[in-house]
Structure 1
């Protein structure tokens, strides 16, 4: 797949390249998943080469099916590009008006606006790519005890909507944030009175 997205640089961080995962990303995945914080938030930790290959296989299958689009997020470094995040657009179904965006950030990239820039790039791409299929809103979900994800959602243009009750496999209540394709659609939707993170 030749698709590439870009996120602009900031005064303190370089621009980002977003592209589909490749087979040669195994080592970078293993390094990223050594982080205990990342491992604590994921349902499918990558601990072995076999796990990494399964992650990459699922990514390829998602792209091929046209329902799940995972992007490796890279930034330039002194030794070449390095993996800093993953953003995924999932549950894409023709005719359905919504899909979900998820992400994780590698430990060295946290606190440098990597996640908001990457999530924004994928969200903009999703609305452009799937508007004809009826996509009008994107949802970003996170557990209530993850305030960093709340900040990422807000910085990426996702408005807090509601608290979701815990349900397996998620042990805690969650927050639903929504970003609409157009401001008119956003104004037409009710917002929850519950406070954001």
Structure 2
């Protein structure tokens, strides 16, 4: 199943294209993972070509099982320039990698799933995460709502205020404090969003 999602441009940022991860994303993925802040919040290291291919293989398995559905978030901008970051530049693909969004632990039978995301260092502060998360949320409810999905959870550690802001901007209300449990060393916030009214 090939799914492509879009988020509209804003006055300060290009439109977003969300699509399944592909082999062509290996080099940009490695570049993005050099960011220490990203490595702090993610659990699977991507430091080499082999790591990147393993990571991509996990994403494909997730799509096949419908248990972990991840999208590469790309700038859908044909006006890119030499400072586009990985994947951009003169004569190159103007759809530079900006981040990742994922729908995981999908279980419509119990009505729930979880969302997650990360953003490349050079794309932070431009509204990428909220716009990509909103596109994923709408797609998740449209796709799995008829099967029983009616709520999505967003979890983040208490020392990640940026994720708290993204949750609030996209209508994920704070639900409760979650105690630390492996592999997370700190307490976390649970945010929840219910299916939009028809």
Single out whichever of 144-153 and 40-49 deviates more from structure 2. 40-49
Report what 1:137 is aligned to. 151
Structure 1 spans left out of the alignment, 5+ residues: 185-197
Query: TM-score, structure 1 length as denominator?
Result: 0.91
Report what 2:130 is aligned to. 116
> Where has structure 1 moved over 4 Å in runs of 4 or more?
none
Report what 1:194 is aligned to. none
Over aligned residues, Cα RMSD in angstroms? 1.2
Report what 1:126 is aligned to. 140
For residues 71-105 of structure 1, the C-alpha deviation after alignment (integer angstroms, 9 at most, x for no partner) is 00000233311000100000112412110000000
Q: What CA distance in whole angstroms lies between the structure 1 residues aligned with 2:107 and 2:115?
A: 14
For residues 164-196 of structure 1, the C-alpha deviation after alignment (integer angstroms, 9 at most, x for no partner) is 000111000000000100359xxxxxxxxxxxx
Report what 1:62 is aligned to. 62
Report what 2:85 is aligned to. none
Deviation at 1:156, TM superposition (A): 1.1
Q: Does 1:155 align with 2:169?
A: yes
Q: What CA distance in whole angstroms lies between the structure 2 residues aligned with 1:48 and 1:70?
A: 20
Q: What CA distance in whole angstroms lies between the structure 2 residues aligned with 1:10 and 1:50?
A: 36
Query: TM-score, structure 2 length as denominator?
Result: 0.90
Q: What CA distance in whole angstroms lies between the structure 2 residues aligned with 1:182 and 1:23?
A: 35
Q: Does 1:166 align with 2:180?
A: yes
Contact 2:108/2:145 (CA < 8 Å) preserved in 1?
no
Report what 2:14 is aligned to. 14
